[in-house]
Amino acid sequence: MYALYETLLKKHGKPQGQWSLWCKRPKTKSEKETVIIESILTQRANWNNVCLAVSNLKDAGVLGLKQIFSAEEEKLQRHIRPSGFYKIKSQRLKILSGFIAKECGGIDKAIKIPAPLLREKLLSLNGIGEETADDILLYAFEKPFFVIDEYTRRLVKKLELSDNFSYGRLQELFEKGLGKKDYALYQDFHALIVMGGKKDGK
């Protein structure tokens, strides 16, 4: 499995955050919050539209968990409209921001919750499935959970790495295949899979 990572790395070069925050290794609290917000906006959406929505939130000064939580629902909907499914996503953003900002007491507190427990709590929220939970854990909280998305499934299918496409099995395939739990490796590997799947890639 590590050989596959090296192959992709040689092919595409090191992920540099050319297309999003997701491979920039967000450091500041604000950058982490942005990643968390993007994890919802990107659900079944094209990345360009996510950028439009993020830009609107930023211009309106609402690009933060507390701001989202206290924003008027109708305004929030208007800002994120370009990302699609905006009514559902505004609800999901409210739920998620409330959970982290209020129930956890902020990002710094949330990050100290044992990762498996935090994952369970995220999954219990309406609108957060396995991929979104792992996006948050891996990219915002730097916890080693391999993200399985549509691009990953396509690659596994193409290379015939597995005949079982359930989320858990695929996650196990990558995590056990790599041996070590290394969040930076997981981030880069997944970023490379996405880069490879984007356009010519195949």
Residue 185 near residue 178, CB atoms below 8 Å: yes
Question: Would you state the structure tokens that stand for residue 99, as one six-digit string?
Answer: 């959970």
Q: How many binding residues for DNA (CB under 7 A)?
A: 38
Write out the binding residues for DNA, residues 39-68 only, by CB under 7 A.
Answer: 42-49, 52
Decide: is 199 part of the binding site for DNA (CB under 7 A).
no
Measured from the CB of residue 40, what is the shortest distance to DNA in angstroms? 8
Print the binding letters for residues 5-44 with DNA: x by CB under 7 A, - otherwise: --------------xx-x-------------------xxx
Print the binding letters for residues 83-102 with DNA: x by CB under 7 A, - otherwise: -xxxxxx-------------
First to last CA, the chain: 18
**Per DSSP, which regions of 52-125 are E strands?**
none
Measured from the CB of residue 141, what is the shortest distance to DNA in angstroms? 14
Write out the binding residues for DNA, residues 147-166 only, by CB under 7 A.
Answer: 147, 149-151
Query: In 10 A of CB 8, how many CB atoms?
Result: 20
Instruction: Quote the CA–CA distance of 102 and 66 in Å, as a whole number.
Output: 9
Residue 127 near residue 95, CB atoms below 8 Å: yes
- CA-based angle 21:22:24, to the nearest 5? 65
Q: What residue ranges bind DNA (CB under 7 A)? A: 19-20, 22, 42-49, 52, 81-82, 84-89, 125-133, 135, 147, 149-151, 190, 194, 197-198
